[in-house]
Amino acid sequence: MRVTICSNEAAVAKEAYKLVRDRVVNQGAKVLGLPTGSSPIKLYGEMVAGYQRKEIDFSDVHTFNLDEYLGLPVEHEQSYRNFMNTNLFNHVNLKADNIHFLDGMTDDLDSECMAYEGKMEDLGGIKLQILGIGRDGHIGFNEPGTPLYSRTGYVTLAAETIEDNKRFFKSADEVPRWALSMGVGTILDAREILMIATGSNKADAIAGMIEGPITSMNTASALQLHNEVNIIIDEAAASKLTRKEYYKKTGGSANVADMYAYLMAARKKAGLD
Ligand code: GLP
């Protein structure tokens, strides 16, 4: 896991955007997995600004969103599809047919979930999966206790998540109790993962994910099993990491440049160059 600690939320978004742009523009990552929540809002703002500056083009990009509430029509203000339209889709040149979303109003949950996995497979799998994290360590809507090999399916929201998400609804009673979500196993199939998190309310979940045991009680901890994970967080979200200074020294990409400089100097000294 590569951990980058930034001074604040704006810096997290800029750093995350740099990575997204690099993967889409330079590395041909044309299938993206996308999250909702407050965490990615600034990153989506950067992506829109980058598109307007003509730095990034989405015309041949496909997107798969992580999850959707059960029982909310697309037009509902709090549906995740509506959130994505408002924060990203309406402002960039993604083709409507290339936007893939779980249908929270389907009358056949199993077929809907299986078809979603099938579409991902047909497109060669997700190249870059962007994630936020819940206060209880959930990724997508994979709440504590979800099997770490789970595939796209329907899930029951934890009380903590309903409490956290009620801020977007008139009351906690209006928050749907269920959702459709990519599974932890589905997320782990992505070629690369980018996790972003900010704020002290995420500090426990982040510490558990990076330094805790791999456990379904913090489904994000399953990312320890993945070989290509970038975690970009602010100081507040990093505040409970015991090895924070180590990540600061070694976590960023500058480390590779430093390493090569050291190696080249050592080669020169040994008369190899
Ligand atoms: C929701 C979403 C998650 C998201 C989490 C954190 O439950 N299903 O994908 O990561 O909230 O949200 P926020 O970024 O608003 O803290």
Q: What is the pTM of this model?
A: 0.94
133-147 tens-digit pLDDT: 999 999 999 999 999
* Nearest CA residue ID for atom 13, ligand 1: 37
Residue 257, pLDDT > 90, answer no
Q: Is 108 known to be catalytic?
A: no
Q: Alpha-carbon distance 216 to 184, whole Å?
A: 10
In the three-class reduction of DSSP (H, G, I as helix; E, B as strand; rest coil), residue 164 is classed as helix
143-201 tens-digit pLDDT: 999 999 999 999 999 998 899 899 999 999 999 999 999 999 999 999 999 999 999 99
What residue type is assigned to position 149 of the chain? Y
Residue 67 backbone dihedrals phi, psi, to 5 degrees: -160, 170
Of 138, 152, 234, which is best to mutate to test ligand 1, by the most ligand atoms within 8 angstroms of its C-beta? 138
73-110 tens-digit pLDDT: 999 999 999 999 999 999 999 999 999 999 999 999 99
DSSP labels for 198-228?
A: -SGGGHHHHHHHHHS--BTTBGGGGGGG-SS
Mean pLDDT of the 254-268 span: 87
Mean pLDDT of the 108-135 span: 98
Report strand pairing: 178-181 vs 153-156: antiparallel
* Structure tokens belonging to residue 55: 């730095």
The packing angle between helices 80-87 and 41-52, to 10°, is 40
> What domains appear along the chain, each with residue ranges and CATH number?
2-242 (3.40.50.1360)
215-230 tens-digit pLDDT: 999 999 999 999 999 9
Q: Is 136 known to be catalytic?
A: yes
Residue 19, pLDDT > 90, answer yes
Residue with tokens 């020169």: 268
Report the separation in Å between the CA atom of 63 and the middle of ligand 1, taken as the mean of its atom positions.
Answer: 18
Residue with tokens 């959130």: 83
List the catalytic residue out of 15, 46, 143, 234.
Answer: 143
